[in-house]
Structure 1
Amino acid sequence: MSALNTATSPVAVKRGSVTWRLVKVEFTLYVREKVAPIWGVGCPLIVLIILGSIPALREPPEAGGALTIFDMYVPVLILFNLAILALTALPNTLAGYRENGVLRRMRTTPIGPARLLTAQLVANLVIALVAMILFLAVAGLGFGVDLPRNLIGFAVAWLLAASALLSIGLLVTAVVPGRNSASAIGTVLFFPMMFFAGLWVPITLMPPVLRTISHYTPLGAGMQAFQDAYLGGFPSALPLLILAAYAAGCAVVAVRWFRWE
């Protein structure tokens, strides 16, 4: 048994090191090309600062109200960041690789779709994590917004929401032929998802039918889980299960349907 472990461990280490090198390369390219930092981080952060600078949005809607309108928009903008990364930055990057023949050349290597998509997922998760911490810091230090009362519940909800959104982005990336198709599909998905996250109309003010639909969308489920954490409770099981189902299902389909060219 020890001989078998000795023989197989170098292979496992080599595979792990290849994935890690891919993650570092993809992260470096994302930062160098500035697509994810500018659109995925900079754009939502500017919106956050603009909204926080409007005094009326930082006043409770009713006398003695616990949350201001701006307080309720902070988690929406965190989801906004995830949606831009997942539906704009990620698909355009990999679709560009396919369009320029990079993936065709990578097909001759032992990397495989699962390892390539994992590297994209991890690189974007790192950028999204930095953005989330930055948003909470700016909202708290700059505009007095409290942190979620249940930080563990918020962290779990954020991780599942990020995984779900990025897995959807990987699924789009797996099948589109080039950047134009990636942009079109990403745009078609982005605006309805943000609507159901409450970007334009708060979920609580939606008609019952739209509110129900919202709860079963990835961003609507994410918003529901965030609100539970902000109010001090651990997110309820249903939105977490919905997010986990999106994450696992889309990731598996993305690996299975992945096209090199």
Structure 2
Amino acid sequence: MPVPAALSSVLARTPSGTVSLAVLRAEVRLFRREPGAIFWIIAFPTLLLVILGLIPDFRRPGEDLGGLRMIDLYVPTVVLLSAITAGLQSMPAVLTGYRERGILRRLSTTPARPVSLLTAQIAVHFGAILVAAAVALVVGRTAYGVAFPQQPFGYALAFGTATLSALALGTVISAVSPSTKISNVLGSLVFFPAMFTAGVWVPVQVMSGTLRTVVEYTPLGSAAQALRQASAGDWPDWTHLGISGLWALVLVLAAARWFRWE
């Protein structure tokens, strides 16, 4: 990712009270220049939803699903897939790339603090995930008649905790990875288990009892259940919201403590 050479000098002249905003603006501009990240975070999850919807069995109601269709269950799942991709694949590569090329070391001479950069990256990717979620919901409704979330406020809360927990996991990977190669390895190691717990291969609600109980204690497994409940019109279980939110808080605090400029 190209980074303006003058960024550190701009931040050096930026008043300390507005340095976080300056970092955020720079990160937004840089993210917009990354078509690969935009595709995998925003476009690919919806593309996967469209492909799954072409399977006839996914459009048939099932008695074991309470009259729902598999495609109904997969809309919250692809929303989580976007969050996983952003948190485990995109953001760590950006931050460790900055460290590897000495950009973080140069930024350390400015008023910017590690938490400013971490916050900016979380905000940028959160925005991308929000766009991806909106696209998936609209396409699901338009193409396959998937109902919009029946409990919108609960869905928004579940979406927020789910997204923050995925991004927080990415910040920890960024904090402990000295190079892009290491962050890619760690991200890949966590990526596939995260997709499983989010229900990409098997929706969480159709897993066996013991397996589902274990998955629901993971940040994305609990988030998947919260999103499903809100989609059906129920307020998300506070246990699911609490597990997902607690994971996000612990991981962000750990990343802020371990993150170093070089």
Q: What is the TM-score of this pair, normalised by structure 1? A: 0.91
Q: In structure 2, give the amino acid aligned to 1:211.
A: R
RMSD: 1.7
Count of aligned residue pairs for this structure pair? 249
1:215-247 deviations in Å (ceiling 9; x for gaps): 111110101101110121111111111111111
2-structure distance, mates of 1:125, 1:19: 16
After superposition, residues 111-260 of structure 1 pair within 5 angstroms as 111-260=112-261
1-structure distance, mates of 2:159, 2:127: 12
The answer for the alignment partner of 1:53 in structure 2 is 54
Are the aligned partners of 1:150 and 1:232 in contact in 2 as well (CA < 8 Å)?
Answer: yes
2-structure distance, mates of 1:228, 1:64: 13
The offset of 1:17, in angstroms, is 2.5
2-structure distance, mates of 1:63, 1:212: 18
1:3-61 deviations in Å (ceiling 9; x for gaps): xxxxxxxxxx9445221221121122112022321111222121111112223211112
Are the aligned partners of 1:76 and 1:223 in contact in 2 as well (CA < 8 Å)?
Answer: yes
The answer for the alignment partner of 1:102 in structure 2 is 103
Q: In structure 2, give the amino acid aligned to 1:160.
A: T
Q: In structure 2, give the amino acid aligned to 1:212.
A: T
Are the aligned partners of 1:24 and 1:123 in contact in 2 as well (CA < 8 Å)?
Answer: no
2-structure distance, mates of 1:183, 1:16: 34
Instruction: Note the residue ranges of structure 1 that are not aligned, 5 or more in a row.
Output: 1-12
2-structure distance, mates of 1:14, 1:59: 59
1:72-106 deviations in Å (ceiling 9; x for gaps): 11111110110000000000011111111111111
The offset of 1:162, in angstroms, is 0.6
Are the aligned partners of 1:197 and 1:223 in contact in 2 as well (CA < 8 Å)?
Answer: yes
Per mean C-alpha deviation after superposition, the further-off stretch among 90-99 and 34-43 is 34-43
Q: In structure 2, give the amino acid aligned to 1:208.
A: G
1-structure distance, mates of 2:226, 2:177: 31
The answer for the alignment partner of 2:4 in structure 1 is none
Identity of aligned residues (%): 39
CA 1:63/1:216 → structure 2, altered by over 3 Å: closer, same or farther?
Answer: closer
Are the aligned partners of 2:158 and 2:223 in contact in 1 as well (CA < 8 Å)?
Answer: yes
Instruction: Note the residue ranges of structure 2 that are not aligned, 5 or more in a row.
Output: 1-13
1-structure distance, mates of 2:224, 2:106: 40
Q: What is the TM-score of this pair, normalised by structure 2? A: 0.90
2-structure distance, mates of 1:62, 1:206: 15
Are the aligned partners of 1:35 and 1:89 in contact in 2 as well (CA < 8 Å)?
Answer: no
CA 1:236/1:15 → structure 2, altered by over 3 Å: closer, same or farther?
Answer: farther
Q: In structure 1, give the amino acid aligned to 2:253.
A: V
Per mean C-alpha deviation after superposition, the further-off stretch among 45-54 and 115-124 is 45-54
